Amino acid sequence: MAIVDELSALRTSTLAAIEQAADTSALEEVRVAVLGKAGTLTGYLRGMGQVAKEERAAVGKAVNEVRGAVEAALEERKRALAAKELEAAIDAAAVDVTLPGRGQQVGTRHLINAITDQISEIFLGLGYTVAQGPEVETDYYNFEALNAPADHPSRSMQDTFYVVDRSGEESAVRGESKVLLRTQTSGVQVHVMEQQKPPIYIIAPGKVYRRDVADPSHLPQFTQIEGLVVDKGISFGDLKGTLDYFCKQMFGPDRKTRFRAHYFPFTEPSAEADVSCGVCGGTGHLHDGERCRMCKGTGWLEILGCGMVDPNVLSMSGIDPEEYSGFAFGVGVERVACLKYNVPDLRMLLEGDMRFLRQF
């Protein structure tokens, strides 16, 4: 084949290879194979010396022409591929703004905390302060200083979790440890009275523990708010007025309270307070005459325990019962939450189900 024809074939195959190069690096390979130092076209240029004189001008012209065509095609393909690659890179990095957003979920306060704060606010508004005590407590503060010494029958009202006492102290009560998880916040009363002279107006919110199996109305861990007032001339009338005010603030101005005689070792007299049922309006039955299930037809819901601080409790904590008197109360926070929002099962408060928790 004549050189000029070879060049023409080279031109055709090179232009085809350029057109087929899928990316810039494939294109570079084509360039090197044709125009590189050892490239095919470069070979023809180098070999010009061996070409017969009369052909040289034509061959030179053909080589230059092929080189021009190849270079132009390389340039054009390079630009096209670069643009395509840039577009692909942009596509890969792009954010699809039409996708639905993931939405930040803002947490809510847990109902137990919200109710604890609401109750606290009511008493803070009356000038009370907040006191705290330990959850791991000694038998003395949880029972003994509250007028319930060992073997006192009232202890069986609350089934206790005992903690293994590694402090080295002996003498456990009936073979049990003297350290326990507090069954009530009432022990905070004693801590406060030991440290503070009257007048005392405190509330003490906190967790308490009892050996109960969780069911709709019991939890092995729950929250109480203790209240204690010690001052000169405090009477049962002060107790009733204060707790009636509290119930109206908490549940609404149309709610009534009543006080039923009860027994607690640390108060005398003792009472349980009921608030009128919000579901049936205190009547015990619904509009269609059906018995109200919330209050079991009684029209009343039990809400807290209370009483006048027993003089023994005052004197054990170093306060003269001849000079001072006081009242105390204990409210179950979970119970208040359930009564306020008609929650049928205490366990719902602890399950962490967002569909339930978000309602409040």
Binding site for ligand DAH (CB under 6 A): 184, 186, 226, 264, 267, 305-307, 328-330
Which is closer to ligand DAH, CB of 70 or CB of 250?
A: 250
Give the residue from 195, 189, 180 showing the smallest Cα distance to 137: 180
Distance CA 113, CA 130 (A): 15
Nearest to 205 by CA among 142, 309, 117, 328: 117
Confirm whether residue 268 is marked as ligand binding: yes
Residue pair 186/146 in contact by the 8 Å Cβ criterion: yes
Least distance between ligand DAH and beta carbon 244 (Å):
16
Contact yes or no for 264/146 (Cβ under 8 A)? no
Q: For the CB of residue 297, give the shortest distance to ligand DAH in the complex, in Å.
A: 24
CB of 305 to ligand DAH, least distance (A): 3
Element (H, E) at 6: helix 3-20
* Among 118, 141, 92, residue whose Cα is nearest residue 339: 118
Closest contact distance (angstroms) between CB of 112 and ligand DAH is 16
Report residue 84 as tokens.
């395509």
Q: Please identify, using beta-carbon distances, which residue of 162 and 360 lies nearer to ligand DAH.
A: 162
Two tokens, residue 30: 């084509």
Beta pairing partners, 138: 179
Which residue number, 264 or 300, has a Cβ lying nearer to ligand DAH? 264
Q: How far is the CB of 260 from ligand DAH (least distance, A)?
A: 12
Token look-up 């619904």 returns 286
Residues forming the annotated binding site? Answer: 268
Residues forming the annotated binding site for Mg(2+)? Answer: 268
